[in-house]
Chains A and B, each alone.
Chain A
């Protein structure tokens, strides 16, 4: 167990990544009760947007200059994609039965994958993403990779900005009002269409930050990267209490820790040597989800929502 601090750090970092993506699920769900299953692909297109910016820059540009530009490009691509998806795929179905936009979301997810697969040059295999060069930082027995520093800094900043936005700005409060009761909010003069677009856009911006973090971590992006990542983030959102933005972060961290610890230690429990290790980490992540849903169906921070229908 002497590598426990390192595994905890791994879990926290991974959790921050899940949390960033989970925000997108939770915000959209909180306002329109739609599980946007195309959100993983919003992450993916953001990654390719950032990659494009990197490739467009002249060779030899330092990463410290390139990184902000990549972020901006990623956020632009993700946000535009999400806003377009809202406008053309979800809005026409807003009054349709709940299942219709869900199926549309899945269709959109496959469409986005295939578009990148077919039209982005060389996207048929993994594309190399830059990494932050240099040796890892060592704090005691814990080594932090330089590429992960980006995530360690970006995730809390994003959360603070979001918290400030939701509680302190007019648009943020309008968003809260819309999520509590869209009809009344509309009667009070809130442009709910604009608020919904805003929720999609914020989720997408976070997705792009996550995409850059993912690319830096693994040194590559590919057209399928959004699928499993989206699935995990959705799990994190449900785990934390879907609709609750702090829950999304908490759920992400819980999931990341569960994965890291399961990979690290379940193998060493008596009688469990067959079920531990890296190959089982997804299994344990979903076991955790099922357990939470059984014991606390509203998620860790979620509130029991009275049935409005």
Chain B
């Protein structure tokens, strides 16, 4: 029976491989940067997807943190302290993210971490950072439970980790903001809801749905897809026959781009709307028919803020190959919040960093308040940003254009 046994063995082997996703991602480490001169050196860790589908966003985060560190050193922001960054690649997956967290905790010079991009990755890191009293500020996580606990939806808010902060607003406002826009501004009454089942995508879709129904809209059908899917023919057919006027997608651009494109290719000319996970230049690159698609993003468009003009100019001068993307400004502000935290701790200790500086930095970051690139940067009792502004973008002539900015008060 050697033929059949070969087939059976093969199925077993390949099954095991597919479970472990075949280790198909590189674990490339990005080199340290910044200059370590005399005096104390403080490292700011960065964890983001630096390779893979979401690397456009991840590289924007790393570069923006690096820019903040460079400027802090140039201005001698904290006398006697030189900052440097240590950027690790999480490939947008929880397991490497967790390893990176352990690695950053083990490095005694690290007094704060900016990242990660993905809410699901953040989930795997929070406990590790919290145990080590190491402050973590995400420029991009929007999953509500990360800061307000699993029961936030039922009104019971409890902060699970005191070392976790974020400069991005949460899906608790992002999903509903999109729902209000589609119902009231775009006048859509029937929406087809699709999500990729990840922490971010499913959460976003759920908060969208509740608010959209509250606005009197109808969810004509719901679908779940796998984040790695690129062929949506069967789902597209369902959308087509559902009579939906728009699709709301909870997920990220690598799947959203082809999904929107395949919808329009099949003659379903309705807009696709998503959250900040699709508000990337790559969404438009992957989807030549994206004209008219919508995305919400946290905060006001960096370009429109007077505080940001300098950031944009500096970023340009620094000559980075990759764009700062959606989270550049938030990453810069996250890094700057850590730098301010370190500054406060050093100042309180006569200009030198005390023993056990990590715990003190966590306390100091809780109290920071300054005008950042994205507006005022400060944190509420859950570690969430106090800046709850959002913007709806639409694709116009191959670019994301601002459609509407506002604050969600629901």
A residues sitting closer than 8 Å to B (CB atoms) are: 2-3, 6-7, 10-11, 13-14, 33, 35, 37, 98-99, 102, 106, 109-110, 113-114, 117-118, 124-126, 128, 131, 135-136, 138, 143, 145-147, 217-220, 222-225, 227-228, 231, 234, 238, 242, 259-260, 263-264, 277-279, 281-282, 297, 305, 307-309
Contacts and interface: CB of A to CB of B under 8 A. Distances in A.
Nearest to A281: B234
B35 to A, nearest CB: 28
Contacts of A14: 231, 233
Nearest 6 A-B pairs (CB), nearest first? A263-B234, A279-B224, A3-B241, A10-B233, A278-B225, A218-B230
A110 B22 contact: yes
A16 to B, nearest CB: 12
B233 A13 contact: yes
Nearest to A299: B7
A281 B233 CA distance: 12
B4 interface: yes
Nearest to B3: A305
A258 to B, nearest CB: 11
B234 A259 contact: yes
A120 to B, nearest CB: 13
Contacts of B267: 135-136, 138, 143
Contacts of A227: 18, 22, 24
B235 interface: yes
Nearest to A117: B26
Contacts of A308: 2
Given A114-B26, A277-B222, 17 more contacts: A13-B233, A117-B24, A126-B286, A138-B267, A218-B258, A220-B230, A228-B228, A263-B234, A264-B234, A277-B235, A278-B234, A279-B224, A279-B226, A281-B234, A305-B3, A307-B2, A307-B3
B156 interface: no
Contacts of A113: 22, 24
Given A14-B233, A228-B228, A98 B14 contact: no
Nearest to B221: A267
Interface in B11-70: 11, 13-14, 17-18, 22-24, 26, 51-56
Contacts of B22: 109-110, 113, 227
A278 B232 contact: yes
B9 interface: yes
A102 B6 contact: yes
A110 B231 contact: no
Contact of A218 (B26, B54, B56, B231): B231
Contact of A128 (B2, B17, B265, B286): B286
Interface of B: 1-4, 6-7, 9-11, 13-14, 17-18, 22-24, 26, 51-56, 194, 197, 222-226, 228-235, 237-238, 240-241, 254, 257-258, 261-262, 265-267, 282, 285-288
Interface centre among B10, B235, B254 (most CB of A within 10 A): B10
Given A6-B237, A218-B258, A98 B2 contact: yes
Contacts, number: 150
A224 B22 CA distance: 10
A35 B261 CA distance: 35
B13 A102 contact: yes
A219 B258 contact: yes
A35 B2 contact: no
Given A110-B23, A110-B24, A124-B52, A35 B7 contact: yes
A307 B3 CA distance: 8
A259 B14 CA distance: 20
Contacts of B18: 227-228, 231
A86 B17 CA distance: 22
14 contacts: A6-B241, A10-B237, A33-B3, A35-B7, A125-B54, A136-B266, A218-B258, A219-B288, A220-B258, A231-B18, A263-B238, A277-B223, A278-B225, A308-B2
A220 B53 CA distance: 12
A78 B55 CA distance: 28
A128 to B, nearest CB: 6
A220 B3 CA distance: 36
A38 B54 CA distance: 26
Contacts of A238: 7, 11
B396 to A, nearest CB: 20
A109 B7 CA distance: 18
Contact of A234 (B4, B14, B51, B266): B14
A219 B235 contact: no
A232 to B, nearest CB: 10
B14 A37 contact: yes
Contact of A125 (B23, B56, B287): B56
A98 B142 CA distance: 50
Given A6-B240, A279-B226, A307-B1, A106 B235 contact: no
B142 to A, nearest CB: 21
A118 B7 CA distance: 32
Nearest to A129: B286
Contacts of B288: 131, 219
B29 to A, nearest CB: 14
B10 A260 contact: no
B286 A143 contact: no
Nearest to B241: A3
A11 B11 CA distance: 24
Contacts of A110: 22-24
Contacts of B223: 277-279
A125 B226 contact: no
A35 B235 CA distance: 32
B265 A125 contact: no
Contact of A10 (B9, B234, B258, B265): B234
Contact of A7 (B231, B232, B237): B237
Contacts of B231: 14, 217-218
B202 to A, nearest CB: 11
Contacts of B240: 3, 6, 143
A135 B289 CA distance: 12
B235 A263 contact: yes
A3 B237 contact: yes
B235 A278 contact: yes
A7 B232 CA distance: 11
Contacts of B228: 224, 228
B58 to A, nearest CB: 10
Contacts of B55: 124-125
